[in-house]
Amino acid sequence: MTIRDHKSQQKHQTAWTEKAIQLVLFLCSALSLATTLGIVLVLLFETISFFQEVSFAAFFLDTEWTPLFSNKHFGIWPLFVGTAVVSMIAMLVAMPIGLLSAIYLSEYAGDGVRKVVKPILEILAGIPTVVYGYFALLFVTPLLQRLIPSLSGFNALSPGIVMGIMIIPMVSSLSEDAMYAVPKSLRDGAYALGSSQLQVAFRVVFPAAFSGISAACILAISRAIGETMVVAIAAGQQPRLTLSPFVPIETMTAYIVQVSLGDTPHGTIEYKTIFAVGMMLFIGTLILNLTSHWLRQRYREVYE
């Protein structure tokens, strides 16, 4: 074998291994598609089987949710409303605090303050949710009960507030990034026209970054809807159709946890309910996530 032959053989071998490696890498990234497909198929399969036993009308029009009792009702509304009430309270806490912090950090604070405060704020998002559940049930609820004596030991208010604190960094970090990305020339132009710092922040930067800011808020709502442990611990597990934040309720996620704690046999209607509820959860958060992604894409295209 001449040196030349050997070299070409080596080259051939390298090309072959390169292809094999690329295939393996491709499979790794295709796994993410398989995961989505798996989630959709699993949910779809059990949900279809659920709706073969329970009619759409019984699911979407009934106002009682009692699949675990002998007198079974499958009206999803108590879970929808419970989820909505908790998420709304969370957003009422997270939006003002998160947005004020974001505007301040982006437009007012010096780099030193930003560098210190931002990571500390982000710690809030890194604390395990079960810890927030503990905090809601054993610290915030007793505290609120002193102010509102009629407040039940389990309620929507306390986990809502605590969840709001938890998602502050989602709102503030992403909005701050969006405002920071607004070009300096826009600010300079407004200053040249005689605007004050506050006017620049609220009438120039905030509108310019609006799609990024709404993307952040939508993502935070999606996170609040999907959040599980805080509500499973502190909101009680009583599905009831009410807008009152002072009584025990149940969210979609808390219901799924409640069933998983019992020993529900595979194939029963109780088992199928968690997939039907999971499907609603998945569709809801998917729509919110896609909207948020689309909005973020938009501001990126404009300024980057």
CA 41, 46, 49, 50 dihedral sign is negative
Q: Which of 209, 229, 249, 295 binds other proteins (CB under 8 A)?
A: 229
Q: Which of 9, 10, 63, 197 binds other proteins (CB under 8 A)?
A: 197
Q: Which of 85, 86, 90, 121 binds other proteins (CB under 8 A)?
A: 121
Q: Please, which residues have CB within 8 angstroms of residue 49's CB and are 6 or more apart in sequence?
A: 272
Scan residues 125-184 and list those touching other proteins (CB under 8 A).
126-135, 137-139, 165, 168
Q: Are 226 and 253 in contact (CB under 8 A)?
A: yes
274 binds other proteins (CB under 8 A): yes
221 binds other proteins (CB under 8 A): no
Q: What is the DSSP letter of 236?
A: -
Facing residues of 65 across strands?
A: 74
Task: Convert residues 13-52 into a mask of x (bound to other proteins by CB under 8 A) and - (unbound).
Answer: -x--xx--xx-xxxxxxxxxx-xx-xx--xx-xx------
278 binds other proteins (CB under 8 A): yes
Q: Which of 49, 66, 145, 199 binds other proteins (CB under 8 A)?
A: 199
Between the alpha carbon of residue 299 and those of residues 54, 92, 96, 188, 213, the distances in Å are 44, 25, 22, 20, 10
266 binds other proteins (CB under 8 A): yes
89 binds other proteins (CB under 8 A): no
Facing residues of 74 across strands?
A: 65
Closest CA to 98 of 203, 197, 215: 215
Q: Which is nearer to other proteins, 21 or 148 (CB)?
A: 21
